[in-house]
Chain A
Amino acid sequence: MGGAAPTPSGKGGKKPLDASINLVPFIDLLSCCISFLLITAVWTQLARMDVTQKSKSQGAPNDDPQPNQVTLTLFVNKDNTFTFSKSTGESIPIEAKGDDFDYVKLADTLAQAKKDHADKEDLTIKTDDVVVYHKIIKAMDIAISAKFPTVTLTDKGAGG
């Protein structure tokens, strides 16, 4: 049991030094807390990723770029390769790594692009129809990690 040792008072010092604390209500409170938290617990950690879209009939919000502004586009190809291109004409191919995309090189390429265009926050991802969903999500995730928070997702047919 919990106890404390108060200083003896009065003459003789014969009073017991240990004062016991009643732990029962404390345990009751903790048990109630645990029950409530276990009932309301959410074990699956789900979240959402924001995406801007540009489909065949609708333009993206920033569809009319300023004349001096560079637009950055990442092509996700069905042969597990990326192509990062700028509206200035520069194009960087990222070859496949085994049977998968080379995400490390993509991260490096996007980081370099962010250094070159620090004010740019948007990136368009154009993908083939047969590319698997989780690979697109991974590419988007890398783009957001590289400080391109506004990711537009579209297919290659939409103005690509």
Chain B
Amino acid sequence: MSSAFDKGGLIKQAGPRLRKFIPLKFITKHGTGKKSSYAELNLTSMVDMLTILVVFLLQTFSASGELLTVSKNVTLPEAMNYKDLEQAPIISISRDSVTLNGEPKADASELTRETTMDWKIPQLHDDLVVLKNNFKLLHPDPNDWKGLVIVQGDKNIDFKVLKKIMYTCTVAGYNNVNFAVQQKAKAGAAPAAH
């Protein structure tokens, strides 16, 4: 190596850096140059987040839509064994009133107090019959009629009220009574009561 420097060959010893000899501030100082106005956004994490959101929303997507709206003063009981909802007349029973498709038909507290043996609720019966006749007019095929009605009862009502509703439905021709429930997740293979 030493012989190569002595002879003035191609390899030369490195001298001092250029910057130290030139007293220009823009070279010696850092960070004073004009900043770029273009800020690059990292889109990868954003796309990840959007994909996760789409997957979550697709999992919770219900093709049947919202067939049943729970009244504000009705708390539904929970059940692990259930079926999907279908389009049907909805009878809602709260502590105060009985409604058919949102229209009040009877006073629930009165039904609880009543001790008569006549279980039929006249106004509810008549309106159910009207709904049945309307359905049969629109669907002439007798096989279309399933006699389905959904009873949306508050979890704390007595069976006394419920049996009157069920009886009225049966008399009006609705033999397929269903109770609306909140879905409860099954805990593995354990029995229902555990």
**Chain A residues with a Cβ under 8 A of chain B:** 1-2, 23, 26-27, 30-31, 33-34, 37-38, 40-51, 53, 55-58, 103-104, 106-108, 111, 127-134, 136-138, 140-142, 144-146, 153-155
What CA separation (Å) do A131 and B160 show in the bound complex? 8
Whether A46 contacts B50 in the complex (CB less than 8 A), given A34-B57, A55-B166, A142-B193, comes out as no
Least distance between B185 CB and chain A CB atoms (Å): 9
A sample of 8 more A-B contacts (CB under 8 A), given A46-B180, A47-B181, A144-B81, is A27-B50, A34-B50, A42-B62, A46-B182, A48-B179, A53-B167, A129-B160, A138-B193
What CA separation (Å) do A128 and B162 show in the bound complex? 11
Task: Name the B residues within 8 Å of A127 (CB-CB).
Answer: 159
Task: Name the B residues within 8 Å of A26 (CB-CB).
Answer: 47
Task: Name the A residues within 8 Å of B61 (CB-CB).
Answer: 37, 40-41
Beta-carbon contact of B191 and A107 below 8 Å: yes
What CA separation (Å) do A52 and B155 show in the bound complex? 19
Whether A141 contacts B80 in the complex (CB less than 8 A), given A23-B43, A40-B61, A56-B119, comes out as yes
Residue of B nearest to A130 (CB): B158
Beta-carbon contact of B54 and A34 below 8 Å: yes
Least distance between A103 CB and chain B CB atoms (Å): 4
**Chain B residues with a Cβ under 8 A of chain A:** 40, 43-44, 46-47, 50-51, 53-54, 57-58, 60-62, 65-68, 70, 76-86, 119, 150, 153-160, 162-163, 166-167, 170-171, 175-183, 191-194
Neighbour of A132 across the interface among B50, B156, B175, B178, CB < 8 A: B156
What CA separation (Å) do A132 and B154 show in the bound complex? 10
Least distance between B75 CB and chain A CB atoms (Å): 9
Least distance between B31 CB and chain A CB atoms (Å): 26
Task: Name the B residues within 8 Å of A129 (CB-CB).
Answer: 158-160, 163
Task: Name the A residues within 8 Å of B119 (CB-CB).
Answer: 55-56
Neighbour of B193 across the interface among A2, A46, A107, CB < 8 A: A107
What CA separation (Å) do A49 and B85 show in the bound complex? 9
Least distance between A32 CB and chain B CB atoms (Å): 10
Whether A46 contacts B159 in the complex (CB less than 8 A), given A30-B54, A145-B191, comes out as no
Task: Name the A residues within 8 Å of B79 (CB-CB).
Answer: 47, 49, 137-138, 140-141
Task: Name the B residues within 8 Å of A45 (CB-CB).
Answer: 182-183
Residue of A nearest to B174 (CB): A53
What CA separation (Å) do A142 and B145 show in the bound complex? 30
Beta-carbon contact of A27 and B191 below 8 Å: no
Least distance between B41 CB and chain A CB atoms (Å): 9
Task: Name the A residues within 8 Å of B154 (CB-CB).
Answer: 133
Beta-carbon contact of B43 and A27 below 8 Å: yes
Beta-carbon contact of B192 and A141 below 8 Å: yes
Residue of A nearest to B81 (CB): A144
Please, could you name 30 A-B residue pairs with CB atoms under 8 Å apart, sorted by A? A1-B44, A30-B51, A34-B50, A34-B53, A41-B57, A41-B60, A42-B60, A43-B60, A45-B182, A46-B181, A47-B82, A47-B182, A48-B150, A49-B178, A53-B166, A53-B170, A55-B119, A55-B167, A55-B170, A58-B170, A107-B191, A108-B191, A111-B191, A129-B159, A130-B160, A131-B158, A132-B155, A132-B159, A133-B77, A134-B78
